[in-house]
Structure 1
Amino acid sequence: MADSATPRTGDAVAVAFSGGLDSTALLHAVTRAVTGQRVIALHVHHGLQPQADAWAAHCERIARQLGAGFACTRLSGSPARGDSVEAWARAGRHRALHDMALAAGADLLLLAHHRQDQAETFLLQALRGAGTAGLAGMPRQQWRDGLCWARPWLDHPRDLIRAYAEQHGLRWIEDPSNADTRFARNRLRQTLWPAFPGAEAGLAQAARWVQQADELAAEVAAADLASLSTPERLDLAALSRLLPARASNALRAWLARHMAAPASLVERLRTEWHPGTTASWPAPGGALHAYRGGLFWAPGSCEPPPPSAIDLSRPGLHSQPGWQGAWLVEPASPGIPPARLARLTQRARAGGEQFQRAPASVPRSLKKACQEAGLPPWRRGGPLLFDEAGLIAVAGLGMDARAFAEKDAPQLAVRWQEDSALLQSEGEARVAA
C-alpha cells in the first residue's frame, strides 16, 4: 500500500469486494497482511443480473470465512434514457463504497485494479479523445471526501493475481456480463490482448508517463494562476500573452475550479475573445462572462426568478438562493424605515427604472447608474426591491436615497451580498466566534 501525505485516522481497512477473481485475491491478501485494524469487505449489489442476490450471499460467506466484516448496499433506480449502463453503475458504486467505508470507520478503501485495467482505461480514454487527465488513467492513491482510494496492485499483471488465487485455492464468481461485447472494455479484452499480448505493459507505462505530465501541467497552471487570477476573475489580457499551450493549460485549470468544462468551451474562449471584447458563453451550471479584460464565472440559471414577496424588516442575513446571494439587513444610517421593509416585492430589472444614489444627487436611469458604478452587465439584472411607494434597493448598487428614513427615525440598512462574499462573511463570523 502506498504511503500518503494525509495522515490516516480510521480504525478499519475497507476492500471493494465484487466476488470476482481480482477482489477475492485482494481480500485474501489483505486479511493476512493487516494487523491491529479491522478489515471489512464492501459489496455493491447492482441488481443488473439475475444472480445478483446469490453473488451477495457468496461474498458475505467468503468475507466471514476470511475473518473480514461485511457490508452490502443495493443500488436503487436505473440508468436514465440514453445513459450508459456502465457509467450509471460506476457512479452508483463509487457513492455506495464511499458511504459504506466511512460508516464502517475506514478512511482507506482498497481496490483490486491491476495493470491490464490501467492499460484498458488509457486506451478507452484515448479513443474518446481525452486530455492528460483522462489519459493518466487511474491514480495509485487519491483522497476524496475524507476517504483514501488506493490500488495496491495497479502495476501487477493479471496473470500474477490469478496464480495467487489458484495457489491458495480461492473460489470466485465469473460474471457472464464480462463476455458481453456491447461493452467497450469487453470488446478490448476479447480482441486487443489476444492480438497484442505485449501491449498491456506498454499502455500502462504510457499512462504513468501521462500522469507525470499531468502533474507537471497542474504545477505550471497553479504558478500561472497565482498571478493571473483571483477566485472571481481570470486576467484574459495577461493570459493571451502566454504561449498557446500554456494559456490553454491555465484556462482549463481555472475553469475546473467552477465546472467540468468541455474541450469545445476552452477552444471557444481562446478563439472568440479579443482585447476589448464583452461577451458571454453558456457553461455547465451557469455562464462565463468576458468584461474589461477579465473572465468571470456566474453560477445559476440565466433566467431570473419570478417576482416574489419578501420581508426584510428584521436584521440578519436573508438568503436568496435563486438569485445566488443574500440581503444583509443591519441597523445603520442612512437606512430605510423598518415599516417600509416589511412588505416588499423582489424582482428582476424590467427597464425604465431610475435610481438615486445619494440625497443630493438626481435620479438617473438604472442603466447609467450601473455603468457609472462599474457593475458588470450580468449583475445588472437584479434583484431589485420595491414597496408601494417605489424603488428601495438594487443588488450591487445599494439603497435608493429617496427611500431613506428621517435622520432621527428608526432605520435599517440593506445591502446585497453575492454568494462568494456571503461565504467569506460567514467564514469570518465563524472565526470571530
Structure 2
Amino acid sequence: MAASATPRLADSDVVAVAFSGGLDSTALLHVATRSGARVLALHVHHGLQPQADEWAVHCEGVAREFGAAFACTRLSGAPGRGDSVEAWAREGRHRALHDMAGAAGVDLLLLAHHRRDQAETFLLQAMRGAGMAGLAGMPKVQWRDGLCWARPWLEQPRELIQAYAEQHGLRWIEDPSNGDARFARNRLRQTVWPAFPSAEAGLAQAARWAQQAEALAAEVAGDDLARLATLERLDLAGLAALSPARASNALRAWLAPHTAAPASLVERLLTEWRPGATLCWPAPGGELHAYRDGLHWAEAAGTFPPPSAVDLSRPGLHPQPGWQGAWLVEPASAGIAPARLARLTQRARAGAEQFQRAPKSALRSLKKACQEAGLPPWRRGGPLLFDAEERLIAVAGLGMDARAFADQDELQLALSWLDDSALPQREGPAGTTA
C-alpha cells in the first residue's frame, strides 16, 4: 500500500489528528470534527499485522463519515534482528506523521494519549532507571521540527473516553497485538491496573511533578552554563565548584546538544577529571576531551581525506568536504599573493612540518606551534596547505605561515579556517537551513 496523496490544506484553522482507528483516536477524531475546525486524519500503516490493509480502509471510511480529509503512509522496511518492534514502529510513526502534516501545511497535530498512557510511561521509565526527563513522561504540548504535537486528553481517564465513544455509537478497531504479553506495556496493563486500580491517577500526578522538577533543573542549568560555558567549551574548574547534584545537572545540559550521554559517562566525567589533566572519553557520535581545564566535544573523526588540489586565489568561503570546515579568503594588508594560492595541495599533517607564526618569530615544529597556540590535540591533524613548491602556506587552526607572506607592494589575501560549527547557516528550500 503506497502512501496516498496528502491533501494541501494550508489554513490557520486546520488541525491534524493521528488516527490509528482505535478507541481513543476515533473518539478524538469525532470530537475534532465537531469543533468547527477543518480536520485531516493521518493514518500510519505499519505493515505489522495481517489486518493492516483492512484497518487503513476502515480508517479512511470513518474519516470520510466524520467529514475529515484523510492521508495514509505505509512504513517501509521492517525491524532488524534484535531490534525492538515497539521502538521501530514508534520512530517510523512519528516520522510519517510529521511528514504528512508538513506536506499538508498543517502545524498542529492532536494525539489521543490519556492519563493511563501517561501513568504507564512513568512506570516503564522508572523501571528502566530513567532520570527526571524520562519520568516526566509525555508533554501536553511540544513543538518539534515546526510541528506542534498536542495531547488534549493527557489528564483524562480512559473510562471517560470510552463512555463518550459508546454514547455516540462510534466503531473502532481492536488491535490483537494489545494483548501480546511480549510487549512491556501490555504486561503492565494485564497485571498492574487490575491489582492497583487507583494507581493511575497517582502515577500521572508523579509525572506532572517530574515535569516541574525537569523545568526547574533546566532553569538552574541555564543559569550555570551562562557563567561556565559556550557551545564549544565547558569550564571544568567552575563546574567542580558546584555541588555534585548541580554539577551533574549542568554537565548533562551542556552535553545534550552534542550527544545522548549515558549516566555512567556523566559520572565518569565528574569523578575522573582533575585540574590540569588531559583526558578523553568516547561518547555516542564522538569524543569528549578535557584540555586546559575545559571540556570540549569532537565529532567522530574518520580517516583524513587524501591529498587534493585546491584553488584559493579568489576571496570568499571555500568549503572543504571531508574536513568539517572551510577556508575563508579575504583581502588583507598582510597576506599571501593570489597567484601563489591558485595551485595549492591540501593534506593531513605528516609529523615533520615546521611553522613560523610571525615574520620575526622563531621557527617551531608544528607540534610546538600548536601547543603554544593552545590548539587542542584533536584539532591538530589538518588540513595543511602547501604551494606548488611544497612550502607550507597555512594550517587550519593556526593560520598562515609567516614565511609565505607577500611583499608589501603586492596584492594580498589572508586565509583563515572555520570549523563547520562556526559557519553561517545557509537558507535552504522552504525556509530550511542547509
Residue 410 of structure 1 deviates from its aligned partner by: 3.6
Other structure's SS at 1:322 match: coil
Task: Report the equivalent of 1:117.
Answer: 117
Task: Report the equivalent of 1:186.
Answer: 186
Q: How many residues align?
A: 417
Residue 321 of structure 1 deviates from its aligned partner by: 3.9
Which residue identity is paired with 1:396?
G
Separation of aligned partners in 1, 2:402 and 2:410: 15
Task: Report the equivalent of 2:398.
Answer: 397
Separation of aligned partners in 1, 2:82 and 2:382: 37
Separation of aligned partners in 2, 1:227 and 1:9: 43
Residue 310 of structure 1 deviates from its aligned partner by: 2.3
Separation of aligned partners in 1, 2:223 and 2:334: 44
Which residue identity is paired with 2:15?
V
Aligned positions of 1:130-149 closer than 5 A: 130-149=130-149
Aligned positions of 1:10-409 closer than 5 A: 10-32=12-34, 34-35=35-36, 37-301=37-301, 303-389=303-389, 390-409=391-410
Task: Report the equivalent of 1:5.
Answer: none
Task: Report the equivalent of 1:412.
Answer: 413
Asked if 2 retains the 8 angstrom alpha-carbon contact of 1:110 and 1:152, the reply is yes
Separation of aligned partners in 2, 1:322 and 1:286: 16
Q: 1:243 to 1:62 in 2, by over 3 A?
A: same
Task: Report the equivalent of 2:424.
Answer: 423
Which residue identity is paired with 1:225?
L
Which residue identity is paired with 1:15?
V
Separation of aligned partners in 1, 2:72 and 2:25: 15
Per-residue CA deviations over 1:209-236 (Å, capped at 9, x if unaligned) read: 1111111111111111111112221111
Separation of aligned partners in 2, 1:79 and 1:397: 47
Return 89-98 or 194-203, whichever deviates more: 194-203
Per-residue CA deviations over 1:99-123 (Å, capped at 9, x if unaligned) read: 2112223221110001111111111
Residue 250 of structure 1 deviates from its aligned partner by: 0.6
Q: RMSD between aligned alpha carbons?
A: 1.8
TM-score by length of 1: 0.92
Other structure's SS at 1:328 match: strand
Other structure's SS at 2:295 match: strand
Q: 1:9 to 1:210 in 2, by over 3 A?
A: farther
Residue 375 of structure 1 deviates from its aligned partner by: 1.6
Residue 150 of structure 1 deviates from its aligned partner by: 0.8
Separation of aligned partners in 1, 2:164 and 2:42: 21
Residue 416 of structure 1 deviates from its aligned partner by: 0.7
Other structure's SS at 1:118 match: helix
Separation of aligned partners in 2, 1:291 and 1:70: 55
Separation of aligned partners in 2, 1:362 and 1:205: 68
Separation of aligned partners in 1, 2:300 and 2:330: 27
Separation of aligned partners in 2, 1:303 and 1:240: 35
Separation of aligned partners in 2, 1:262 and 1:255: 10
Which residue identity is paired with 2:393?
I
Task: Report the equivalent of 1:4.
Answer: none
Other structure's SS at 1:185 match: helix
Per-residue CA deviations over 1:381-428 (Å, capped at 9, x if unaligned) read: 21111234221110111111222233333432211112233238x79x
Gaps of 5+ in 1: 1-7, 428-433
Asked if 2 retains the 8 angstrom alpha-carbon contact of 1:11 and 1:106, the reply is no
Other structure's SS at 2:322 match: helix
Identity of aligned residues (%): 80
Which residue identity is paired with 2:180?
D
Separation of aligned partners in 2, 1:317 and 1:355: 24
Residue 267 of structure 1 deviates from its aligned partner by: 1.0
Residue 9 of structure 1 deviates from its aligned partner by: 7.7
Per-residue CA deviations over 1:124-147 (Å, capped at 9, x if unaligned) read: 111111100001110111111111
Other structure's SS at 1:106 match: coil
Which residue identity is paired with 2:122?
F
Separation of aligned partners in 2, 1:262 and 1:321: 31
Return 118-127 or 76-85, whichever deviates more: 76-85
Other structure's SS at 2:360 match: coil
Which residue identity is paired with 1:170?
L
Other structure's SS at 1:318 match: strand
